[in-house]
Structure 1
Amino acid sequence: MGLLSAVALLPLAPVRGVIWISERLVDAADKELHDPAVIRAQLCALNRALDGGEIDEEQFDREEERLLDLLERRSPSAPPPQREGRRS
Structure 2
Amino acid sequence: MGFVTNLLTLPLAPVRATAALADQIRRQAEQEFYDPARIRHQLELIGNLRASGDLTEDEATAAEDVLIARLLDAEAQREGYVANDNYP
Same topology, TM > 0.5: yes
Which residue is equivalent to 1:55? 55
Cα distance per residue 1:11-45 (max 9 Å; x no partner): 00000000000001111101110111110010011
* Residues 20-31 of structure 1 aligned to structure 2 (within 5 Å): 20-31=20-31
Distance in 2 (CA, whole Å) between partners of 1:34 and 1:14 is 30
Distance in 2 (CA, whole Å) between partners of 1:60 and 1:53 is 10
The one-letter code matched in structure 2 to 1:38 is R
* Residues 1-88 of structure 1 aligned to structure 2 (within 5 Å): 2-76=2-76
Structure number having the greater helix percentage = 2
Where does structure 1 lack aligned partners over 5 or more consecutive residues?
78-88
Distance in 2 (CA, whole Å) between partners of 1:46 and 1:5 is 55
Cα distance per residue 1:34-71 (max 9 Å; x no partner): 11111001001111111222111010011111111211
Moved over 3 A (4+): none
Percent identity (aligned): 30
TM-score by length of 2: 0.79
When the two chains are superposed, the root-mean-square deviation of aligned CA atoms in Å is: 1.4
The one-letter code matched in structure 1 to 2:53 is G
Distance in 2 (CA, whole Å) between partners of 1:66 and 1:37 is 15
Count of aligned pairs between the two proteins: 77
